[in-house]
Amino acid sequence: MEAYVKSSIENGIATIEFFTPASNSLPGLILKKLAETIDLLGKDDEAKVIILKSFGDKAFCAGASFDELIAIDSIENGKSFFMGFANVINAMRLCPKFIIARIQGKAVGGGVGLACAADYTLALNSASIKLSELAVGIGPFVVGPAVERKIGSANAYAIAINASEWYSADWAKEKGLYVETFNNSEELDLAIKTLADKLAKSNPEAMMLIKKAFWRGTENWDTLLAERALMSGTLVLSDFTKNFIQQFKGK
């Protein structure tokens, strides 16, 4: 299977699904398509609520594509790549529709950022998380604001520092990242469908205003995340990062 982003709308419920062969890690093209799809559905009157999910029963998202990271050869290209994550997070933030994230497996780095940028996140109880950027030689600069907003600065700081540690779904639920966790996919999908059905019948204007109110204070993220993308785009050129990725890919 080749990488893709696809979307559909049924009974007011829009679904966005993405897939890449490398554990749903995200290259620039997929990031671009994700941001564009979220933006388009946000403007589509047929879509009342959005579900964001990835394909498969393993990893939700393994973060940035290592193949693209190791190919970055300039600060400009580095910033451009990380702006892909910035654009997706900002699209989720600015979308006037509630976004429900379905986390069926492990989330790493940028995948944690997507889970945090969603308005309502449900997961399997096996869906552990890891903010791995420091271990790679960079930092969770772009996703950091979304993570901090969701779980608080102390918790975000802790997982950013202990970058090789997996944190359980129970931990993520306790800190507010996951609203609820489930034993199996059937329970997870039923909970998502039940909520999405209710929201599809709710007042769109009220939902838009609720979302706007709860995202208050993030109006500077267009500028902030661009600054953070430059930080990551600079660090990704370091020998430390290049060596780490080569060693990881050689395993």
- Is 171 inside a domain boundary? yes
Examine residue 207 and state whether it is found in any structural domain, yes or no: no
User: In this structure, is residue 8 part of a structural domain?
Assistant: yes
Q: How many structural domains does the chain have?
A: 1
Span 146-169, pLDDT tens digits: 999 999 999 999 999 999 999 999
CA 169/CA 126 separation, integer angstroms: 6
**Reported confidence tier of residue 61, pLDDT bands at 50, 70, 90:** very high
What was the pLDDT predicted at 131?
98
Q: State the DSSP H helix or E strand holding residue 10, giving kind and residue range, or none if neither.
A: strand 4-10
Q: Is 163 among the domain residues?
A: yes
Arithmetic mean of pLDDT, 89-108 = 98
Contacts of 90 (CB under 8 A, 6+ apart): 35, 221, 222, 225
Q: How many helices (H) and strands (E) are present in the chain, helices listed first?
A: 12, 8
Residue 98 has pLDDT above 80, yes or no: yes
The share of the chain scoring above pLDDT 90, in percent, equals 96
pTM: predicted TM-score of the whole model, two decimal places: 0.96
Give the residue-averaged pLDDT of 200-208. Answer: 98
Digit-coded pLDDT (tens) for 225-251: 999 999 999 999 999 998 998 888 776
The verdict on residue 222 lying in a domain is no
Residue written as token pair 């193949």: 67
pLDDT of 167: 98
Domain extent at residue 159: 4-200
Residue 45 neighbours by CB distance under 10 Å: 7
3-state secondary structure 97-155: CCEEEEECCCEECHHHHHHHHCCEEEEECCCCEECCHHHHCCCCCCCHHHHHHHHCHHH
Q: At what angle do helices 75-94 and 110-117 cross, to 10 degrees?
A: 20
Q: Residue 89 has what pLDDT? A: 98
